[in-house]
Chain A
Amino acid sequence: MRRKPGHLLPIELTILEAGIRLRTEGVAHFYGFLIAREIKERQEARLLTAHGTLYKALDRLQRLGMLESEWEDPVVAAQANRPRRRLYWVTAAGEAARVTVGEPAPRPVRQSQRGLAPS
């Protein structure tokens, strides 16, 4: 089923929230495993978010302009003796979307009801 443009899934909202929270804690950029761990701790889940679910959501948020990313400097990764991380951060659009979508939306008034409503 096709999703409406701009409609965010719960996992996407959760990623935005976790990214913003990490930033307020002084972590400017996050990477896939870090955000998965953050979500797990916050939700007190037993398992980390599945690879496919997590990276698909990150990819979609980036396409929507709510996240940006860049690959870590290879020198930094080499010094730490680990694979390079893809570093993400929440954009202004992501913050705005989290605020508007995260809040409960007002109930839509159907046209026919509006017409019948007492003035």
Chain B
Amino acid sequence: MNAALDMVVGMTRSWVAVYTSGLPPEFRDSRRAEIDSDVWEHQRTADLLNQPQGETSFQLLARLVLGIPSDVTWRLETGRSARSERSISMNESGAMRSLVAVGVVVALFLVVTGIGSVADALVQGDLASGQAGFGAISVLAGAAVAAGLLTSRRNPLLGIGLVAAGAITVAAAWYWMLVITIPIGIVLVTIAFFRARQTGWPRGAGTA
């Protein structure tokens, strides 16, 4: 293969890589593989026909350049349709949004309670007491639950993990209220789980 042909093949592949970047893998990989195959077949046929490499380079370049307007419009259309499909699949029901909001309020209650405990310990100048540690744990647990609920769609495993960790921490720290903290924790983990499921998880449909 001469330098000109090398360059044109490289340009073709680079252009395909550029206009397919950002597309869902099923569109991106398919188009790249198809052009790769086409370019290979073109070169192979030219070799069999003993076509001068300069002519093959010119033909490939012409095919690349003349197709650019179609490539651009295809990219715009495919990107648009992929976005609309994703927005349909990512559409969240009002009931689920309400449940998440309630869960976040519960988590914020923990954060506020924890901050109050720490502040109280600060005011009394007794940071070494169990109250400050209890407050700090509540703040962290509440923040974990809130963050987990909010990220459970984008990153299901991390989201559910954070909610579960927060709920277990609260149940352990507030052990005298196990009858309340354990059911609430189970409910919060369930909300995160079903929120994640709406995106197609665990099959990964929501991540495409």
Query: Interface on A for B, CB 8 Å cutoff?
Result: 31-34, 36-37, 47-56, 59, 71, 82-86
Q: Which residues of A contact B38 (CB under 8 A)?
A: 32-33, 36, 51, 55
CB < 8 Å: which of B37, B65, B72, B73 contacts A84?
Answer: B37
Q: Which residues of A contact B74 (CB under 8 A)?
A: 52, 55-56, 59
A-B contact count (CB 8 A): 78
Q: Does B70 contact A (CB under 8 A)?
A: yes
Q: Which residues of A contact B70 (CB under 8 A)?
A: 50, 52-53, 55-56
Q: Does B41 contact A (CB under 8 A)?
A: yes
Q: Which residues of A contact B66 (CB under 8 A)?
A: 47, 50, 52-53
8 closest A-B pairs by beta carbon, nearest first, are A52-B67, A50-B67, A52-B70, A33-B41, A50-B66, A52-B71, A83-B37, A51-B67
Interface residues in B33-67 by Cβ distance below 8 A to A read: 33-38, 40-42, 44-45, 59, 62-67
Beyond A31-B41, A84-B33: 7 further Cβ-contacts under 8 Å?
A32-B38, A37-B45, A47-B62, A48-B42, A52-B72, A55-B67, A86-B33
- Complex contact A32–B34 (CB within 8 A): yes
Q: Does B197 contact A (CB under 8 A)?
A: no
Q: Does B122 contact A (CB under 8 A)?
A: no
Q: Which residues of A contact B31 (CB under 8 A)?
A: 55
CB < 8 Å: which of A55, A84, A85 contacts B35?
Answer: A55
Q: Which residues of B contact A37 (CB under 8 A)?
A: 45
Q: Which residues of A contact B41 (CB under 8 A)?
A: 31-34, 82, 85
Count of interface residues, chain B, beta-carbon cutoff 8 Å:
29
Q: Does B30 contact A (CB under 8 A)?
A: yes
- Minimum Cβ distance to chain A for residue B67 (Å): 3
Report the nearest A residue to B64, measured CB to CB: A51
CB < 8 Å: which of A31, A32, A33, A56 contacts B71?
Answer: A56
Q: Which residues of B contact A86 (CB under 8 A)?
A: 30, 33-34, 37
- Minimum Cβ distance to chain A for residue B201 (Å): 27
Report the nearest B residue to A53, measured CB to CB: B70
Q: Which residues of A contact B71 (CB under 8 A)?
A: 51-52, 56
Given contacts A32-B34, A47-B63, contact A56 B73 (CB under 8 A): yes
Given contacts A82-B44, A86-B30, contact A51 B63 (CB under 8 A): yes
Q: Which residues of A contact B65 (CB under 8 A)?
A: 50
Q: Which residues of B contact A85 (CB under 8 A)?
A: 37, 41
Report the nearest A residue to B30, measured CB to CB: A86
Q: Which residues of A contact B67 (CB under 8 A)?
A: 50-55
- Complex contact A83–B62 (CB within 8 A): no
- Complex contact B62–A50 (CB within 8 A): yes
Q: Does B204 contact A (CB under 8 A)?
A: no
Q: Does B12 contact A (CB under 8 A)?
A: yes
Report the nearest A residue to B37, measured CB to CB: A83
B65-85 interface bits toward A, Cβ cutoff 8 Å, 1 = contact, 0 = none: 111111111100010000000
